[in-house]
Structure 1
């Protein structure tokens, strides 16, 4: 009897979070597909010292961005420097991405991912003249958003679970510094993405409230917790504001030029 109840609860959990699994699965699949394309399309004698077609046409290269290839502020978020780099990125995407998608909603989670990637690429563009890829930038934004959710709702979150996730975030951050020492990865992009995730997470952070009536969330100790999500319109408006603020940096800071 207990097995049937557990199976039913598991089925409801999967149904309730199907969009979360779908979103994270699609993002991970895109990253893996791009890496496989990178491996399958080596380019010899590239003047940018980037050895794949996706890297040559999608990496952050300052001179080319200034000549009009603006998409290079977006595409690096899907590029990785190797197997270890994408392994770290995928691990955090599934670890923190699912949490953030469940906490903020899948649409807001997607916006956090995109905003983190773009902000990381932009700060890298303004900070370094070296060609870089930014596949781990978006997941730093997810960690930032997860962190602000924990702070905002600390009274309703199990401390043990939160501490366990926090340790994973520290391990990933340390490993990312190691990886950046051996590949075209800018740590400033990681800091920028994490800060953006915290800032955007703060303005869109759902709140947990205690209610008497049962609702969409779980019950613990006789209490019903209601998660008040930010609406899609609100999330999109804040996303647009953040994009405008980030874009304004292009008129304030002059990016360094590539020495090629």
Structure 2
């Protein structure tokens, strides 16, 4: 209290000036329409500016929650796609595309917590692991296409070998013709990969889509890989096709890990065939 009284005594002239100035301004604005309008517009602009900044900050703080909600919604939609099912007991061909359907693929959402794109052997880390149903050799996709393959799993985390790793090759095909080959990254441009083993007699066009072939127990058929940007003959009989990747790995935040519910059955059958 003493400090307050001492402050008032030491600054009473300045405080009195401020009080009189404020009183004069109030009287001017109250009794003059022009000044009143100017003051109202200024206060409205200031209030609008502050409210806009508060709204922007609030939106930013809630953005992560909104993204997680959208991620979960997309997961549910993907799980309901027809491509996630197969016909378990098909009826005769003349009966049409009917029969009993069963789920083939399950999509598990995950967040990227570590990622690199500027190395030859890049890796991605996810915030989901064995407790969430993730296992090694599961496919990983983004909202726009192929991302990589799970290589390591702990209870709550997993590591992914991304397409931007020179050790990874993915069986891919031309969407419009069905010709397939091996797609890999050469360690240079994080936006492009190379598709090889396409016969040179195949007609190619820039902009043609490249998708997964489905010729493995990892990626389902038809997952977007990218689009053709260039091509040239190599080895005399094949095309080397430059593919612009549909997944932007420099902006990769959310992914889906694909669980193939029939994978073990397929692997057992393939293993048995090797010994026959």
* TM-score class normalised by the smaller sequence: under 0.3
Higher relative contact order, structure no. (Cα contacts within 8 Å, ≥ 6 residues apart): 1
Which structure: larger Rg?
2
Instruction: Give TM-score, length-normalised by structure 2.
Output: 0.23
Instruction: Give TM-score, length-normalised by structure 1.
Output: 0.24
Give the number of the structure whose residues are more often strand, by fraction. Answer: 2
Give the number of the structure whose residues are more often helix, by fraction. Answer: 1
